[in-house]
Homo-oligomer: A and B are copies of this chain.
Amino acid sequence: MSPSSTGRLTVVGLGPGNLAQITPEALAAVDEAEDFFGYIPYLDRLSLRPDQRRHASDNREEISRAEAALTLAAAGGKVCVVSGGDPGVFAMAAAVCEAIENGPAEWRGIDLSVVPGVTAMLAVAARAGAPLGHDFCAISLSDNLKPWSLIEKRLVAAAEAGFVMAFYNPVSKARPHQLATAFDVLRAHLPGSVPVIFGRAAGRAHERMRVVPLAEAQSDMADMSTCIIVGSVETRIIQREGKPSLVYSPRFSKRES
């Protein structure tokens, strides 16, 4: 066996941040690995043993992080790349695949596995009721990786086809104005009464949940850790005395195309 055939790389999803939402499968993968690559706050969630090594990196360094992890795995390492949420949703699994496709042939021989997790929109939806109960889409609002015109096209297509939408990466210091533009685009295609959910740290001690009508949605209601869910025309709000309202999208639709 060559060293490359003994190396292993596991891309693990740690869920939305509440430790009780990490799967046993993810914890077992962490237990078996020796070297950990990831964005600092995700690595900080792990309780590593003294023999397990941290290789922390900044948020924007996905490809170089993936390459470093693959290099170590190809040399025989037991390597774990950690993501928040689910690693397959706007996270490290795609970056690792990109690096494999563009990297040396031996990287294709690495024993690669991806461990799924609870992605942010599911945690936010659970705290709100069931806003994703009908057809929905997930869109990253970051235009670091695609043209803004394409994002606008997808917002309009989703609004017109009646998809509920979940937004990941809604704002950053480098992109303070795009979320406001996105809301303006949607206001031109959806009624102002459509509910918009801003969910931050859903299911955690410092959770912040807010529901406003689209007409009142503003970009300063979100930061880079917020997941936003925009309802469809059919999404409903149930008022409850002394409890937060429930937001849900009925399973049925009477709407004709």
A residues engaging B (CB < 8 A)?
15-16, 18-25, 28, 62, 86-91, 93-98, 100-101, 108-109, 112-119, 122-123, 125-127, 129-140, 145-147, 149-150, 152-154, 157-158, 160-163, 203, 236, 238-243, 246, 248-257
Residues of B within 8 A of A113 (CB): 126
Q: How far is the CB of A251 from chain B (nearest CB, A)?
A: 5
Complex-state Cα separation, A254 to B143, whole angstroms: 11
Contact A253 B127 (CB under 8 A): no
Interface of A is mostly: mixed
Complex-state Cα separation, A62 to B62, whole angstroms: 42
Contact B98 A248 (CB under 8 A): yes
Tally of this chain's copies: 2
Contact A100 B146 (CB under 8 A): no
Residues of B within 8 A of A239 (CB): 108
A-B CB contact pairs (8 Å), 24 listed: A20-B23, A22-B24, A88-B122, A88-B126, A88-B133, A89-B122, A90-B251, A97-B129, A97-B130, A97-B236, A108-B238, A112-B246, A115-B126, A116-B122, A119-B122, A135-B138, A136-B138, A137-B137, A146-B253, A147-B256, A150-B162, A150-B256, A154-B161, A157-B161
Q: How far is the CB of A190 from chain B (nearest CB, A)?
A: 14
Contact A22 B23 (CB under 8 A): yes
Knowing A97-B248, A253-B145 are in contact, say whether A125-B130 is a contact too (CB < 8 A): no
| Cβ-closest chain B residue relative to A132 | B88
| Cβ-closest chain B residue relative to A161 | B157
Residues of B within 8 A of A253 (CB): 145-147, 150
Contact A250 B98 (CB under 8 A): yes
| Cβ-closest chain B residue relative to A101 | B238
| Cβ-closest chain B residue relative to A112 | B246
